[in-house]
Structure 1
Amino acid sequence: MKTLENKVALITGGSRGIGAAIARKLAAEGAKISITYQNNDVMANQLVDEINSAGGSAVAIQADSGLAEQAIAAVQLTVKHFGGLDILVNNAGIAVYDHISKLSLEQYDRVMDVNVKGVFASVQAAVTHLKQGGRIITIGSCQADRMPDVGGSLYAMSKSALIGLTKGFARDLGPLGITSNLIQPGPVDTDMNPAGSEHAAGQLALMAQNSFGRPEDIASMVAFIAGPEAHFVTGASLTIDGGTNC
């Protein structure tokens, strides 16, 4: 028996990188998958075709997580397509790095809209559909706790806000049997932060393990938290970063 058989999961920003790995892993565990994407419908549809061809069930929804009404609509469309919702994975996020003297208020608004407001709107929309055993899982960053780089103030702030939201959601929804947890990855080898980039050496120097994580590493943690064995885990910030700055 697959651990997520007949469950419905929505993964925001699920067309590539960590989000796509999460979609594949949850589908392999039996979940019906809904992913959102902002612009790249080709990658999103390729992933949907891959999951469906392997015997799963998946759909892609175009949505900008920085626009609350689109984040809410993605939840509603998922419920309409699959008849319910059991797992919400808030994965969509953006990173803007620059010295504090150069960051604009427009950049502030965009980062907070995607990384924080979009999470809040998605969860609020999902609450009316989640039932006993429901899961809210948010992807944050180890930089919420430790910021070693110049220019990371805005990104770190947005990811730190998710710690408070996660704990608040856990308190509000615990009596309903719904858990809320935050996963905080460190350096992960994706197209946005490749292990072979010019910035990789500096990141590796901060890590206890001398290698980047894989998207599948994060996906495995998500699958565990989404499954029945993690029913007693809630309000937690779970760091998976190879010992970055430990």
Structure 2
Amino acid sequence: MKNIEDLESLNKEELVYLAKLSEQTERYDEMIEYIKAIIQKTPQDLPADDRTILYIAYKNIVSDLRTSWRVINSIEKKEERRNYMENKATANSYKKEIEQDILKYSKDILEVIEHDLIPKATSSESRVFYYKMKGDYGRYMSEITTGAINKEIVAAAEISYTAAYDLAKNDLPSTHPTRLGLALNFSVFFNDILEEKERAIEMAKGAFDEAISELENISEENSKDSTLTLHLIKDNLNLWNNELNEES
């Protein structure tokens, strides 16, 4: 990757091209540096295409780390069940390294959003996008933290999700992919983090039913993303309702 001084000499079009190259070659750390440089060269609200670059760069890194965390967490529990305590300690140490990486990238994107993006956001769509991302990365951090720190992270994530949800309900169509993605992730937050399955079902069902009733008005541009998200919401609803039935 070019060094920071080189990035400052590039124009925005060159940086966007480099960001797309880094995506295609799966060099997401470099992609993050390119989108940060793009943000610094964009004095106004970030366009949708650039927001997508931001989303992809951080999402791919943190998704891989979350997968790694789940694997090592499972190994640690297995070693404990087998009473291999030395192996358990080694796995736990490795898990903590992964946790530090998740926290590092999550805190980084939260700082970028809070200081560089939200202050310049002028459209409801971009503001919903940013507050949703704040909720998402708070959710990821809450999965690997405990105690008072966890409570603080969870509370902040809920505030961000709620801000996004209120904006989306007022300003975005029910079929808009950003609004549907928010409903999907916020309902997962209710189910997985707050352990409030009924609230998760209520939110997901409300979003699903409202979007289905307006499906004929969906734009061709949004059709693919919105339809995919509706399928994911429906899958969660089926799963959560089945779990409720089993519990009762």
Q: Above 0.5 in TM-score?
A: no
User: Given the two structures, how large is their TM-score scaled by the length of structure 2?
Assistant: 0.35
Q: Based on CA coordinates, which of the two structures has the bigger radius of gyration?
A: 2
User: Given the two structures, how large is their TM-score scaled by the length of structure 1?
Assistant: 0.35
Q: Quick check: which one's strand share is greater?
A: 1
